[in-house]
Amino acid sequence: MEKEELYNMCKSIIDLHKQRYAIVKSEIEKIIRDNVKDERYIQRKLDEMLDILLFYENDDSLLLFRRLCKYYFSINPMVTA
């Protein structure tokens, strides 16, 4: 595999995670805004954010993950401690 081919493949993976982040971001903002209490749904969003952070880590994505963790802590402190 040539360097350029590998670079393009990595760039495609990062671009997909950027798109996924935009979708998940709106879902997380809705969770917090609407005061959603469904723990399984929140846990899935936390898992999705961890997957995204593997390839697309920046200040915004880290802050969003932290906001969701803090929100979930208010619902179930035992799980998030």
Q: Cα 32 from chain centroid?
A: 14
The amino acid at residue 69 is C
- The per-residue pLDDT for range 62-81, each reduced to its tens digit, is 999 999 999 999 999 988 66
* Of 22 and 57, the one with more pLDDT: 22
Q: How much is the pTM?
A: 0.86
pLDDT of residue 57: 86
pLDDT of residue 9: 93
How many structural domains are present in the chain?
1
- The per-residue pLDDT for range 25-35, each reduced to its tens digit, is 999 999 999 99
What's the whole-number mean pLDDT along residues 37-50? Answer: 96
Domain extent, residue 33, equals 3-80
Render 50-70 in DSSP notation, one character per residue: HHHHHH---HHHHHHHHHHHH
